[in-house]
Amino acid sequence: MNVVITGAGSGIGRACAQRFAAAGATIYALGRRIEPLKALCAELRTAVPTSVDVGDGPAVRRVFAELPTVDVLVLNAGLCATADLGAPEGDAVWRSVLRTNLDGVFHCLDAALPHLPDGGRVVVVSSGLGKLGRAGYGAYCAAKHGVLGLVRAAAQELAPRRITVNAVCPGWVDTPMARADLARAAEARALPLGALRSEAMAGIPLGRFVEAAEVAELIAFLASPAAAMITGEAYNLSGGEFTA
């Protein structure tokens, strides 16, 4: 089984690579930074590293043109940046976030289509903010909401080929990106990082952040034969932080 994972160098993408590799899959690990990908592939010994910016459509098409059959496509690459409406940096944040988090999903799905066999699996990592809103996160929320619309449309288009397309919507996941986001927010609010982390934790009924490996397990299930009749769905994984 061939599994292509974007944003594979860290966090959820890395956990997915480890999970699928443990099941015997060959991993095609995509990401912007080659060094984390090389480290991952050295660990797994069944992975192929490729550096690519998913927001660059032509570059994505060149990469996918060289790939074999893609049995499972995990679209995880993303970035988080914030800007309030009216902020000087707002336009740049909007463009960079949507370029990676929404355009990147489209570019990869579109380029992968000729390589997906009938019965293939596509899983996209959205976010709880793909269902909710948060002040300062307008670009991120818009991109992740957009991802869910694309997932639902693609699920309808690809259903005749029995290709399922689903999304996962994590809440706070203990990843480098989430830790950096908390650090930025703590600095902006002049709060100790520990205090802001405790504040975030207080909003999670189950009392802790999600682990990246737990997200990978849900993704692996959606890619499994047991999930053959699940498509167009968006699964929460938030410890009860959100239920919409």
What is the pLDDT at residue 183?
A: 77
Instruction: Report the pLDDT averaged over residues 81-104.
Output: 96
Q: Does 28 participate in catalysis according to the annotation?
A: no
Per mean pLDDT, which range of 186-190, 201-205, 206-210 is the poorest? Answer: 186-190
What is the pLDDT at residue 243?
A: 87
Identify the residue with better confidence: 179 or 232: 232
What is the pLDDT at residue 192?
A: 81
What is the pLDDT at residue 198?
A: 78
Q: How confident is the model at residue 239 (pLDDT cuts 50, 70, 90)?
A: very high
User: 28, 137, 140, 235: which one is catalytic?
Assistant: 140
Cα distance between residue 243 and residue 80, in whole Å: 22
228: left (phi over 0), alpha (psi -120 to 50) or beta: alpha
What is the pLDDT at residue 180?
A: 78
Instruction: Report the pLDDT averaged over residues 100-127.
Output: 98
Identify the residue with better confidence: 181 or 62: 62
Domains of the chain from N-terminus onward = 2-171+211-237 (3.40.50.720), 174-209 (no CATH)
Percentage of residues in the chain with pLDDT exceeding 70?
Answer: 99
Hey, is 124 helix, strand or coil? Answer: strand
112: left (phi over 0), alpha (psi -120 to 50) or beta: alpha
